[in-house]
Structure formats: C-alpha cells, structure tokens
C-alpha cells in the first residue's frame, strides 16, 4: 500500500507526524483518531482497517502525542481535539473539496466529539467510553504499583512493551470536566451517520451505560465479540462490519 508521510505543527507548537494510506486520487477521505497514550500504529488496528479500504479511500493516520525516546507525552484531551481540527484544516488545504469520514478508537471517540468537525459523512466509534472515563482510568492505573500517578504534576505509566506514558496534570483536569460522552455522541448523530461498535469482551462496564446509546436517534449500535483493541479473532468480525458500512 502506498504511504506518504506528512508533518504539520500542532496548536501547542510541536510537530504532528502522520501518513496517507490508500487512494491519493480519491475525493473520499477517512481520518483516524487513536486512543490514550499510544501512537497511530497501536495494535495495528488502524493499519488493518486502512488495508481493506485502500482502493476507494485515502486513509489519514496521525499521532496526537509527542513521541520521545522511550516514552509518549500526553497533554489534555481538548488539546488533542485541536490537533484533529488542525489535521482536518491541513487536508482541506492540500486536497480542496472531499467527502470526509472519521474512525475513532477508545478515547479517540471522545476527541471526535469534542472537535465536532463540519461536513462529516460517516463516523465510526470503536470501543468508545459510554460515560466519563476519568475515575475508571485512575482506578486502573493506580492498581499497578509500578505507575506513578500525580494529578498535580506528571504521571508516569508503565506500558507492557517497556515504554512509558507521561501524562501531564492538564489531562486529568480537562478529562474530569469534559461533557458526558453520551451527549457528545448524541450531538454527532444530529449531522452525521454514526455507528457505535461495542467490544463485548472489553473491560467490564455497566450494561445500561452502553444500552442507553441505542436510544440516540440516527446512531446505529453494533456489538462485536472482541476485546478493547479488537484483536484476533474479533478483528476479522470488525473488518467485515466496516466493509458493510463503507
């Protein structure tokens, strides 16, 4: 698959690294919004999705976070929403008119809701939190004694691959105060064709928090037997569903 890398400056002043995959002549673009503390390459999820859509779409993958030698630095979720807006603006400058869709995973779905981009055709929300994840993230990270959680400074979170995620205090303050994700998804569905995909083997959450999403007008609610990252064997089911949607 042809790949073209690009760099743009983030609103905070650091360089955003991204790439185009697929049909560069297409007037149909899909922008991917990744989750917390990772890069666009996390678990190969976005690459696998781009691979099945490459013939008809130009897929745009980029990193929200600043990549250091052996760590990733995470700023506030609202600043990440501004990065998504900056990428969208860059694409408008580069390609002019195009039909735009969005695919978000995990916290990347909330970023899509906060950015609220105009003129979006389809939005796919993969394993997005149905309620504010602030308390759940803190509980999860505090459970690992190797992590150093400091809501008033810089938190250090150890990753399974040996790398570190550095989380600035602004992330926690901002996340605690964002609108309810349910309301963000509801707002998105007013102007776009929205599909929410629940991974039923994801970390336990109250079923009613998910089920209420079914009540959002114009939002299609789908369940797939998969873990949070839609790893094998669940990824095959996800890719087949996305082929139907796109």
pLDDT tier at 1 (50, 70, 90 boundaries)? Answer: very low
CA distance 6 to 62: 9
Domains and CATH numbers, the chain: 3-66+78-131+180-245 (3.40.50.1820)
- Please give the mean pLDDT across all residues of the chain: 93
DSSP letter at 213 equals G
* CB 111, CB 81: distance < 8 Å: yes
At residue 2, does pLDDT exceed 70?
no
**pLDDT band for position 70 (50/70/90)?**
confident
| pLDDT tens digits, 6-24 | 999 988 888 899 999 999 8
Greatest Cα-to-Cα distance within the chain, rounded to the nearest angstrom: 50
Confidence of residue 3 (pLDDT cuts 50, 70, 90): low
């Amino acid at each position: 698959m042809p790949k073209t890398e690009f760099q743009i400056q983030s609103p905070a002043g650091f360089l955003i690294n991204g790439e185009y995959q697929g049909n560069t002549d297409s007037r149909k673009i899909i922008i991917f919004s990744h989750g917390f503390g990772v890069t666009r390459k996390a678990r190969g999820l976005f690459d696998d999705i781009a691979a099945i859509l490459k013939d008809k779409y130009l897929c745009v993958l980029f990193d929200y976070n600043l990549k250091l030698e052996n760590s990733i630095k995470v700023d506030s979720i609202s600043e990440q929403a501004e990065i998504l807006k900056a990428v969208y603006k860059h694409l408008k400058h580069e390609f002019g008119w195009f039909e735009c869709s969005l695919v978000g995973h995990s916290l990347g779905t909330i970023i899509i809701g906060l950015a609220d981009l105009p003129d979006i055709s389809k939005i796919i929300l993969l394993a997005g939190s149905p309620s504010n994840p602030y308390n759940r993230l803190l509980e999860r990270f505090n459970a690992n004694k190797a992590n150093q959680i400091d809501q008033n400074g810089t938190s250090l979170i150890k990753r399974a691959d040996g790398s570190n995620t550095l989380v600035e205090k602004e992330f926690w303050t901002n996340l605690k105060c964002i609108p309810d994700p349910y309301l963000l998804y509801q707002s998105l569905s007013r102007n776009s064709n929205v599909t929410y995909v629940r991974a039923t083997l994801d970390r336990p959450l109250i079923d009613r928090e998910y089920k209420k999403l079914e009540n959002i007008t114009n939002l299609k609610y789908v369940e797939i037997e998969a873990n949070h990252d839609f790893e094998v064997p669940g990824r095959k089911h996800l890719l087949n569903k996305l082929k139907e949607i796109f």
